[in-house]
Chain A
């Protein structure tokens, strides 16, 4: 409503004069309009400044390596030869592994909390989940290095190997650290986001939707799975993309458990490296302009990856929301 009125005021003829403008200012509408506009523009400004800074400060390496930077596998600070591919690969693989684990877990937990659990229990657990989401990532990293890594080496890894060891993604030595461990730790970190946001979205599904489905003779499960979840689908997707964004940019927890070896290996047990981790590791001691520029260009690449994935996410939402459910 307010948008409509402000647009109308904008459409007002310019000869309305300063008096009318002051009048509008007094009423508060114009002030609110300006203030919120400034804040919204701030986001745009910060984003473009970020890209600008990354772009300017990576000039040297962009000129030196060109697009080859994206598919070169060497990362050699001594000889000054830099390529981003192993880091891009590591970032994507760990994020995908974490989503594969966290999405079913998170969505299922959210459905239980929103639809099946008693309200009091649901609120209590939701409180704990919000607490989990606020835990600093270095804590998850420590958890990873002291619990997940040994467990991976002695228990989880051997079990996976004995069952699925023939698959190329589970071949090779298991050190305890690597893509899979990083993916698991990331999954633990992002599950609270998925549960928390998805639960809130599921709770906003109107009661009559549920009642109508039940009234038509659907079982409780059918009402949940065929009516409530599709209704909330956009919101659930949103929670997943929020989680993905966190997984892509996570630094501390990942670098503690991934093994930090910039090589591309098919095996999930192999050590790898991610973009955020290498920037955090090497930025402080990066001597030489080309080295520093290459690290900053990695930041630019991470920004691009996030940008592309977010774009794809939007497309996915548009494509899937056609299939019924909430418009």
Chain B
């Protein structure tokens, strides 16, 4: 009898060991960080062959919906979940949700003015005015005063924006909302908004395609997209009044500038961040991790991956043109990982 009990215990132990050995995690969400995520999941899998993470890049909104419905183990989003969404998650799953910044992204203004090849500088007021439709000509004083020596045409500006819901639009409109009260009240910020003016292009490629073909147009694309496709883009005035051309360093600087005042839940916007070198149209993208994970094997796998991602994993970033997390943010996140239970 004792022998039988012992062997049953052994079987149970082995079974639980086997369960710990193979962990398959499902995740879904944002498309913007998909290249780096798939690189990370792949690299992590080759180091820990028992952990397999499947990621569906269905968009931030879809990721939040699937996470709330409980069909994935964790989600990913380009904009933090709002209080209502967190409440809904809590009421359905009985657990809180934690945000973990993973990489940084930035958005740049791209334009096409025939005969103007110089890099344009944009004040914050100029960008808000152009996208509100209050600045309608290229030779408007708000644009020319920042670009002395350039002769800008008196032609009408054609505004181009994203037509598909996207984190890029969220970052762009979040920036405009911060620098322009008028924008905030008339348009607001979100992944899709009611645009005051302009044409819509689908995806970064749709926007850049429209801009390239339309003289006197201006729009916005992701920094990574612009870098990978050698697209020229303009400088933007930051909170310190300095004109900056977007770069990975400038984006990390913006995150570092915001790190001091960062809330414990990491739900923070870093557009228009303080700091002389901070590029103003930057943002985190987040992994959304449930606070309580019942399956211990999954919990350990997720915690292990999170730790690896914000330390060793960051080494993959610049090869794929993503900006690294600054050290203060990494330290803060390492502490936050213990909140996952």
Per the 8 Å Cβ criterion, residues 150-192 of B in contact with A are 156, 158, 163-167, 187-192
Interchain CA distance A34-B331 in the complex, whole Å: 68
Q: Which residue of B lies closest to A260 (CB)?
A: B200
Chain A nearest CB from B180 CB (Å) reads 15
Interchain CA distance A284-B29 in the complex, whole Å: 9
Q: Does B199 contact A (CB under 8 A)?
A: yes
Per the 8 Å Cβ criterion, residues 32-73 of A in contact with B are none
* B193 CB contacts on chain A under 8 angstroms: 76-78
The answer on a CB contact under 8 Å between A287 and B163 is no
Q: Does B85 contact A (CB under 8 A)?
A: yes
Q: Which of B165, B189, B199, B200 contacts A285 (CB 8 A)?
A: B165
* B190 CB contacts on chain A under 8 angstroms: 77-78
Q: Does A218 contact B (CB under 8 A)?
A: no
Report the stretch among B202-210, B234-242, B258-266, B273-281 that lies at the interface.
Answer: B202-210
Q: Does A209 contact B (CB under 8 A)?
A: no
Report the stretch among B56-64, B218-226, B296-304 that lies at the interface.
Answer: B56-64
Interchain CA distance A180-B194 in the complex, whole Å: 23
* A150 CB contacts on chain B under 8 angstroms: 213
Per the 8 Å Cβ criterion, residues 234-281 of A in contact with B are 255-256, 259-261, 271, 273, 277, 280-281
* B165 CB contacts on chain A under 8 angstroms: 77, 281-286
The answer on a CB contact under 8 Å between B200 and A176 is no
The answer on a CB contact under 8 Å between A77 and B192 is yes
* A175 CB contacts on chain B under 8 angstroms: 158, 199, 214
The answer on a CB contact under 8 Å between A256 and B192 is no
Q: Which of A74, A79, A281 contacts B163 (CB 8 A)?
A: A281
Q: Which residue of A lies closest to B60 (CB)?
A: A285
* A261 CB contacts on chain B under 8 angstroms: 195, 198-200
* B59 CB contacts on chain A under 8 angstroms: 284-285
The answer on a CB contact under 8 Å between A281 and B202 is yes
* B65 CB contacts on chain A under 8 angstroms: 287, 292
Q: Does A232 contact B (CB under 8 A)?
A: no
Interchain CA distance A92-B165 in the complex, whole Å: 24
Q: B-facing mask of A129-169, CB < 8 A → 1, else 0?
A: 00000000000000001100110010000000000000000
Q: Which residue of B lies closest to A284 (CB)?
A: B59
The answer on a CB contact under 8 Å between B202 and A176 is no
* A76 CB contacts on chain B under 8 angstroms: 193-194
The answer on a CB contact under 8 Å between B192 and A282 is yes
Q: Which of B62, B194, B213, B214 contacts A78 (CB 8 A)?
A: B194
Q: Which residue of B lies closest to A271 (CB)?
A: B199
The answer on a CB contact under 8 Å between B158 and A255 is no
Q: A-facing mask of B130-161, CB < 8 A → 1, else 0?
A: 00000000000000000000000000101000
Q: Which of B84, B166, B194 contacts A77 (CB 8 A)?
A: B194
The answer on a CB contact under 8 Å between A78 and B189 is yes
Q: Does A126 contact B (CB under 8 A)?
A: no
Interchain CA distance A271-B199 in the complex, whole Å: 7
Interchain CA distance A150-B213 in the complex, whole Å: 7
Q: Which of A77, A256, A280, A287 contacts B60 (CB 8 A)?
A: A287
The answer on a CB contact under 8 Å between B62 and A284 is yes
Q: Does B201 contact A (CB under 8 A)?
A: yes
Q: Which of B58, B166, B199 contacts A259 (CB 8 A)?
A: B199
Q: Which of A260, A284, A288 contacts B201 (CB 8 A)?
A: A260
Q: Which residue of A lies closest to B167 (CB)?
A: A285
Tell which of B158, B192, B209 has the most Cβ of chain A within 10 Å. Answer: B192
Interchain CA distance A280-B199 in the complex, whole Å: 17
The answer on a CB contact under 8 Å between B156 and A285 is no
The answer on a CB contact under 8 Å between B191 and A285 is yes
Q: Does A177 contact B (CB under 8 A)?
A: yes
Q: Does A75 contact B (CB under 8 A)?
A: yes
* B85 CB contacts on chain A under 8 angstroms: 287
* A260 CB contacts on chain B under 8 angstroms: 163, 199-202
- Residues of B participating in the A interface, judged by any CB pair closer than 8 Å: 58-62, 64-65, 84-85, 156, 158, 163-167, 187-195, 198-202, 206, 209-210, 213-214
A-B contact pairs, 8 of them (CB 8 A): A77-B165, A77-B190, A150-B213, A255-B202, A260-B202, A277-B163, A287-B60, A287-B65
Q: 15 more A-B contacts (CB under 8 A) besides A261-B195, A285-B191?
A: A74-B194, A77-B193, A145-B209, A175-B199, A175-B214, A260-B202, A261-B200, A271-B199, A277-B163, A281-B163, A284-B165, A285-B60, A285-B62, A285-B192, A292-B65
